[in-house]
Amino acid sequence: MKKRCSKEKKRMRRVLKAKMKEENKTNHHIKPTSRDNDNSEKNTIYIDADKHDIYHRLFSNLLPDEIIHYLVDYFWGGQEKWLITAIKQREVYYEQKKRAQAMSYL
């Protein structure tokens, strides 16, 4: 029984891999496995392979917060106002999304 489950998992992995290749997608770890060997679904996202390559060429294996610091220091000349603007816009975005979902239930 255990062997069949393992075979099924392997089959599913092959199917997923083939689908990802067909769609030019790859598996990206939000927190790089080199920093923390977290292979969980919460830490994994399927993204466009070309963008993934560019992302790692630019940011290597930095953590998300380190990337933000890098952007502020290297690209934005130390201007942190963009962080505050982005956070405020995200709050508005989530509020609008929540309202739209509430309306769809009516």
Shortest Å distance, C-beta 44 to Zn ion: 9
Q: According to the binding rule CB under 5 A, does residue 28 interact with Zn ion? A: yes
Task: Give how far Cα 59 sits from Cα of 54, 55, 98, Å.
Answer: 8, 6, 32
**Nearest Cα to Cα of residue 32 among 20, 42, 43, 41:** 43
- Closer to Zn ion by Cβ: residue 31 or 72: 31
Q: Which stretch binds Zn ion (CB under 5 A): 12-20, 21-29, 77-85, 88-96?
A: 21-29
Shortest Å distance, C-beta 24 to Zn ion: 15
Instruction: Give Cβ neighbours of residue 95 (< 8 Å, ≥ 6 apart).
Output: none
Q: According to the binding rule CB under 5 A, does residue 31 interact with Zn ion? A: no
Which residue ranges make up the site for Zn ion (CB under 5 A)?
Answer: 28
